[in-house]
């Protein structure tokens, strides 16, 4: 990921989400129940680096 100083305006807008987007993001991610870190570790426990790279490449080519 680029540093903020080298991002284009479009990249920065997507990165920062704007005030409304940031507020929505915070509402969505603060209202959940449970332990996200524990849950994430559980569903990612069998992932390999190659699995992650393959997933990234699939998303880029859609």
CA distance 37 to 49: 19
Q: Please write the tens of the pLDDT for every residue from 10-56.
A: 677 667 777 677 677 667 766 667 787 888 889 899 999 999 999 99
Domain residue limits, the chain = 4-60
pLDDT score of 58: 92
The pTM score is: 0.39
Rounded Cα distance between 25 and 35, Å, is 18
Query: Is there a contact between 7 and 15 (Cβ–Cβ < 8 Å)?
Result: yes
pLDDT of residue 15: 72
């Amino acid at each position: 990921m680029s540093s903020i100083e080298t991002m284009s305006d479009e990249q920065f807008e997507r990165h920062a989400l704007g005030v409304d987007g940031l507020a929505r993001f915070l509402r969505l991610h603060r209202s959940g129940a449970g332990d996200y870190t524990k849950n994430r570790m559980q569903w990612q426990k069998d992932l390999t680096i190659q699995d992650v790279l393959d997933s990234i490449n699939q998303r880029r080519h859609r």
